[in-house]
């Protein structure tokens, strides 16, 4: 009987078993999933099974050669999902979500970044698809019809397998399906295919939230924000009033390169000198808080003092929302607001989102002269970007708020020999080796930009804000990073590597110093507005002034990790900053609720588009909404 059953369904059985094995092996080889015990290993082994049965069950609707074709097609589609996650993971150390898949307007600009992530041996992932197609063709296998009852039982079997899978997983990770922000945990416990189905459900739920939202939902959030408000430092409030603002988003720049060397050479000599300047405030304990939206997430954080979403990019998924962003606020203070970035205006949906944020002008690639001689990788080299941007700045009415986004220090960190200020490092990891070189190039470009502004008489009456937008070196390069740093890359060290430079330079201030407070990108908006003399007490935001004497040393990352003055909480463990060792979780307990609540409240504002119910002038619910 078993032999007869196998003969009838051999294409389905063989393909299903191979897909199951392939999924498990890919988990082990391509993804850095932290398996802590045998139970987790068992869950990892069985979690593709329910999905494989479910996928293959669709082939039962067909018979004869049509079933063989459907089996091949289903296997190819399932394999491509694995392949796409593998390639995405290589750079982002993360898994694809539905919103990311719909960010197709970015694909045309990825170019070299994607091709550098592809390897010839990746084709081995599809070898079973090819071999099975050849086997079925040569054997001329015929598949009999299957009754509706048997098809239904097969789908039921996949559901039972999924319930068993989740049941076992819940014993290891309680409330598993409420942790949608932790994609690695979901992949480990319910598998890649089930994760994508779950993600689709979450995204559908998010879309429905706006339609069902009403003004009552903002009340609790408003009360929390009002209670958590920190008064700005009176000695710093308004010290840059009416000054021009130059804000520079430094692509992929992490703090570990600051005041550091590679092969005896300074990596960031200009930034190192700027930090020591008497007019500079430097924040060494400042963290990026981005998610899958990377640079666009950092823009969102800094413009709105709200957290990005747990999946996808707000710039794509909620670009039509109502926001009370920094450009809009400064526009009311008679500032001319502009963003300058030598890339396609549609990349990250900026042309649409910038309108929602209130920018007066977006200088995109069409506003720059980009030729082969002055571009590489992602486009215009930083040196020429700043050079041409100065000419645009001359045309702007004052005071102006300008945000610059650099490009050259972007993965895969390509640079021509003639532009190298320092040679590549010599580890076995080319990505890390090149990173130091492109960072050095960006540092030199910044130096030239500052000199140009001084020569043009545009320096003295300007406040400069420079920050790293997100990490450049992911956890996939831990071996090389361990070699460079001279220590093991533990979860604690990984979290500390999320620190990015944050520099505020105010010419003529003379009171600059190193500020040890723990902060993040979410704090930049209230900090800048207070320096410019803008009251933020009536605005909805989650950050607090980095200069405030009432400030709490605390910042939360998008993955739920958080950092306080003495501790780091990540991956369910509490670490002491001094010893870098895990300590009692109770030491981090007082901040756990705050971290969770802020991420949740911020998500609710975005999903429900709740700011449409708030009067931006008073910060209160609009009178017509109360009625």
For 242-282, write each residue's pLDDT tens digit.
999 999 999 999 999 999 999 999 999 999 999 999 999 99
User: Looking at residue 380, what is its pLDDT?
Assistant: 93
Closest CA to 354 of 325, 393, 379: 325
More confident residue, 252 or 292: 252
The residue-averaged pLDDT of 37-63 equals 89
Going by pLDDT thresholds of 50, 70 and 90, the confidence category of residue 286 is: very high
> Which range is least confidently modeled, 147-161, 179-193, 589-603?
179-193
Checking if the pLDDT of 110 tops 60, the result is no
Checking if the pLDDT of 111 tops 80, the result is no
More confident residue, 145 or 405: 405
> What does the pLDDT look like over 565-606, one tens digit per residue?
999 999 999 999 999 999 999 999 999 999 999 999 999 999
Cα torsion angle, 559, 295, 475, 29, sign: positive
Q: Look up residue 601 and give its two tokens.
A: 């409240």
3-state secondary structure of 268: coil
Q: Look up residue 291 and give its two tokens.
A: 């998610």
357-366 CB contacts, 8 Å cutoff, 24+ apart: 357/303, 357/304, 357/323, 357/325, 357/326, 357/327, 357/328, 358/323, 358/325, 358/327, 358/328, 358/329, 358/331, 359/327, 360/327, 360/331, 360/336, 361/336, 361/337, 362/338, 363/338, 363/339, 363/389, 363/392
DSSP3 helix / strand / coil % (the chain, rounded to 5): 55, 10, 35
Going by pLDDT thresholds of 50, 70 and 90, the confidence category of residue 34 is: confident
The residue-averaged pLDDT of 301-321 equals 90
Residue 216: CB partners within 8 Å, gap ≥ 6?
none
Checking if the pLDDT of 284 tops 70, the result is yes
User: Looking at residue 411, what is its pLDDT?
Assistant: 87
> Which range is least confidently modeled, 31-35, 107-111, 131-135?
107-111
State how far the Cα of 27 lies from the Cα of 243, in Å rounded to an integer. Answer: 53
DSSP run (H or E) holding 172:
helix 148-172
Helices vs strands, H then E, count in the chain: 23, 18
CA distances from 610 to 329, 410, 459, 606 (A): 18, 34, 39, 7
> What does the pLDDT look like over 211-232, one tens digit per residue?
788 888 898 999 999 999 999 9
With a pLDDT cut of 70, the percent of the chain lying above it is 93
Q: What is the DSSP string of 374-442?
A: GEETTEE-HHHHHHHHHHHHHTSPSSEEEEEE--SS-TT----GGG-SSPPP-SS-HHHHHHHHHHHHH
User: Looking at residue 622, what is its pLDDT?
Assistant: 78
Checking if the pLDDT of 10 tops 70, the result is yes
User: Looking at residue 5, what is its pLDDT?
Assistant: 65
CB 472 within 8 A of CB 257: no
User: Looking at residue 388, what is its pLDDT?
Assistant: 97
With a pLDDT cut of 90, the percent of the chain lying above it is 64
Domains and CATH numbers, the chain: 2-210 (no CATH), 217-626 (3.40.720.10)
pTM above 0.75, yes or no: yes
State how far the Cα of 86 lies from the Cα of 31, in Å rounded to an integer. Answer: 7
The residue-averaged pLDDT of 358-381 equals 91
The residue-averaged pLDDT of 371-390 equals 92
Q: Look up residue 356 and give its two tokens.
A: 């929602």
Share the mean pLDDT of the chain.
90
User: Looking at residue 530, what is its pLDDT?
Assistant: 97
User: Looking at residue 177, what is its pLDDT?
Assistant: 67
| Residues annotated catalytic, as ranges | 295
């Amino acid at each position: 009987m078993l032999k007869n059953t196998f003969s009838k369904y051999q294409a389905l059985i063989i393909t299903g078993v191979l897909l199951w094995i392939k999924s498990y092996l890919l988990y082990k080889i391509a993804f850095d999933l932290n398996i802590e015990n045998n139970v987790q290993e068992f869950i990892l082994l069985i979690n593709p099974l329910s999905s494989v049965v479910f996928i293959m069950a669709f082939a039962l609707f067909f018979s004869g050669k049509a079933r063989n074709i459907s089996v091949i097609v289903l296997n190819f589609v399932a394999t491509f999902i694995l392949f796409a996650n593998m390639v995405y993971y290589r750079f982002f150390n993360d898994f694809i979500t539905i919103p990311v898949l719909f960010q197709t307007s970015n694909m045309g600009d990825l170019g070299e970044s994607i091709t550098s992530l592809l390897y010839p041996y990746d084709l081995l992932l599809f070898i079973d698809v090819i071999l099975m197609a050849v086997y079925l063709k040569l054997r001329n296998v015929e598949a009999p019809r299957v009754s509706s009852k048997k098809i239904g039982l097969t789908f039921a079997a996949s559901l039972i397998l999924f319930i068993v899978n989740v049941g076992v997983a819940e014993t290891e990770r309680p409330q598993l399906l409420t942790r949608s922000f932790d994609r690695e945990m979901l992949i480990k416990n319910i598998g890649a295919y089930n994760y994508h189905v779950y993600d689709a459900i979450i995204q559908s739920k998010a879309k429905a939230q706006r339609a069902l939202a009403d003004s009552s939902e903002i009340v609790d959030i408003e009360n929390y924000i009002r209670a958590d408000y920190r008064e700005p430092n009176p000695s710093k409030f308004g010290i840059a009033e009416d000054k021009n603002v130059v804000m520079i988003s430094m692509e992929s720049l992490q703090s570990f390169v600051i005041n550091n060397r590679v092969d005896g050479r300074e990596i960031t000599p200009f930034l190192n000198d700027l930090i020591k300047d008497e007019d500079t405030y430097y924040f060494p304990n400042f963290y990026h808080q981005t998610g899958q939206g990377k640079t666009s997430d950092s823009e969102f954080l800094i413009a709105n003092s709200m957290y990005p979403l747990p999946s996808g990019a707000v710039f794509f998924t909620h670009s039509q929302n109502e926001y009370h962003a920094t450009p809009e606020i400064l526009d009311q203070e008679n500032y001319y607001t502009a963003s300058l970035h030598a890339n396609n205006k549609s990349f990250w949906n900026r042309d649409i989102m910038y309108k929602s944020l209130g920018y007066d002008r977006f200088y995109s690639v069409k506003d720059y002269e980009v030729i082969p001689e002055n571009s590489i990788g992602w486009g215009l080299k930083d040196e020429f970007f700043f050079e041409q941007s100065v000419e645009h700045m001359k045309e702007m009415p004052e005071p102006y708020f300008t945000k610059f986004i650099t490009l050259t220090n972007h993965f895969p960190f390509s640079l021509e020999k003639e532009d190298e200020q320092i040679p590549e490092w010599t580890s076995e990891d080319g990505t890390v080796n090149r990173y130091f070189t492109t960072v050095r190039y960006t540092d030199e470009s910044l130096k030239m930009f500052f000199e140009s502004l001084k020569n043009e008489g545009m320096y003295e009456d300007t406040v400069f804000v420079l920050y790293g937008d997100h990490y450049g070196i992911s956890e996939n390069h831990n071996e090389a990073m361990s070699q460079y740093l001279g220590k093991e890359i533990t979860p604690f060290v990984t979290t500390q590597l999320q620190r990015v430079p944050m520099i505020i330079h105010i010419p003529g201030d003379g009171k600059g110093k190193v500020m040890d407070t723990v902060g993040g990108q979410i704090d930049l908006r209230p900090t800048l507005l207070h320096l410019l003399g803008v009251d933020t007490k009536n605005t909805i935001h989650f950050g607090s002034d980095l200069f405030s004497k009432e400030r709490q040393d605390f910042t939360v990352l998008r993955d739920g990790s958080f950092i306080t003055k003495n501790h780091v909480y990540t991956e369910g463990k509490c670490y002491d900053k001094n010893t870098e060792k895990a300590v009692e979780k109770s030491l981090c307990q007082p901040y756990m609720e705050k971290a969770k609540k802020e991420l949740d409240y911020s998500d609710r504002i975005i999903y429900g588009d709740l700011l449409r119910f708030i009067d931006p002038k008073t910060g209160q619910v609009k009178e017509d909404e109360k009625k």
